[in-house]
Structure 1
């Protein structure tokens, strides 16, 4: 009888603890984001998905909310996607949305970190620079990170041209054809006019233009990539110089040479897998979640 009573007491304690934990975590779903907020919030992590990836898709591929909450870090998965660069008007609109996200949910603006995968990483860099340049929004990101992101749009245009001409596979050629159409409609051909690319790209190596990162000189910056040359060659038919890894390396080296005092390039090996188990180095999984949160809290 005594043993049964102790067992019941233990179950009650476990059950009540679960209830308290659930009550201490608030989930907010809006048209713009899904937010997981612990009752005590020391920092906030804002995540952009890749091109076409919404909040639910990010959470599936990068389920970091439970771990974040255990460390008093709120997580906001954004629905903002289908962009690879931002017009001036779009920067202002996105900044206002992030300001509303922070203010309406009483989140700590001074310890906000913004990151993203692929095109989402480019957006994270662009909007972090814009927010830092414009203090009226009240958000100065403490850190920003990009996961295997295309940062040099002029280089990306030429890579797409090469992929279409080579026609290695329907997938590679199709993606590149779409990219060329998109760039030609939005920015034109960089061989004819490079200035639109200098204005909207995170970085243009050939002209050493990095104005869209100018305000981040003293901000913590991380670039993640998994340069699996064999996978990219076998699946997409491209060499290292055409990979995002190559351009992230060039950008990190350039920023360090210009005095940016907190830039890290993190390369991984064998970590890139999608949630369905398929091998792909262009994935959220190359980010070590524990290490990312430690970086935020350091």
Structure 2
């Protein structure tokens, strides 16, 4: 039990081209009055005195809950300074979503939006690592539906493992090379989970197409087809030296490489509002650890500006 808990606490999936121009962030440093509401499902940070101009919904990586997202991603002040409400979700430990989970999550968000009087016409969804997969799959589902009363205007992912079949293959390589203990533990976990719940991609690739945002091996993008007309950002920090030194992984085995491929595929398919955003030496965990697979690769103020741009 202790080993499992430790694994979940440490688990982050290993698994872009400059950003489009946005208005500069506000220079007014006056701290906006905000209200924080905490529920079992989420933490909501919203303006106290005025209606929110936009809503940002955030999903953490595999073990992250709302408090973890708030600690690792310094979005609170830049968002509230621009009257943007932030919904930090206690929804993680998912690499993919079942259809029933998409419906349940859509209803849960609908309830929160109605209960707190949040905007329905300017909503953005984002996620880190596995949470980025959730953000993409959920946004695709919501854009294709009318019954929830809201649809995302944009979605962004932060170094997410968007092709589960390739994630499986990378996990197998990490276990076989036996170089980095964290990668070996993560690889063993992933292989067990995906083998049990989806199958081996060499025999069940159709099931991977059902659950992955993209499956490069079969050129399948059905799970993100509805996102063609909304704003998309794909964030990564492609520090090839770090991955080789600490994980003995080649660039083609990283999330950054796959996000770059996804960007190219989206552009090829006519996604005109997608941007691949890279950073350099921004990736640090809150405790000071250098790691390119981190929330910190996103510039919070620039992200808010992108959200509020027409």
With normalisation by structure 2, the TM-score equals 0.88
Offset at residue 170 of structure 1 (A):
1.6
Of 272, 286, 304, which aligns to 1:293? Answer: 304
More helix by share: 1
CA contact (8 A) 2:31 2:81 kept: no
Q: Does 1:62 align with 2:73?
A: yes
| Counterpart-to-counterpart distance in 2, 1:42 and 1:33 | 20
**Which residue matches 1:284?**
295
The answer on 1:226 being equivalent to 2:268 is no
Counterpart pick for 2:265 among 254, 259, 264: 254
1:21 and 1:190 map into 2 onto residues whose CA distance is: 50
| Equivalent residue number for residue 205 of structure 1 | 216
Match of 2:139 among 122, 128, 150: 128
- Are 1:141 and 2:152 matched, yes or no? yes
Name the counterpart of 2:36: 27
In our comparison, the structure showing a higher alpha carbon Rg is 1
Match for residue 5 of structure 1? none
Q: Tell me if structure 1 keeps the 8 A contact 2:155–2:233.
A: yes
The superposition leaves residues 73-92 of structure 1 with CA deviations (integer Å, 9 ceiling, x where unpaired) of 00111100000000111111
Q: In the alignment, is the contact (CA less than 8 A) between 2:74 and 2:300 conserved in 1?
A: no
Instruction: Point out where structure 1 has 5 or more consecutive residues left out of the alignment.
Output: 1-19
Offset of residue 21 of structure 1? 6.7
Match of 2:53 in 1: 42
Q: Which fold has the larger relative contact order, with Cα–Cα distance below 8 Å and residues 6 or more apart in sequence?
A: 2
Aligned Cα root-mean-square deviation (Å): 1.2
Name 2:178's counterpart in structure 1. Answer: 167
Indicate if the aligned counterparts of 2:51 and 2:118 stay in contact, CA closer than 8 A.
no
Divergent runs of 4+, >4 A? none
Unaligned regions of 5+ residues in structure 2, if any?
A: 1-29
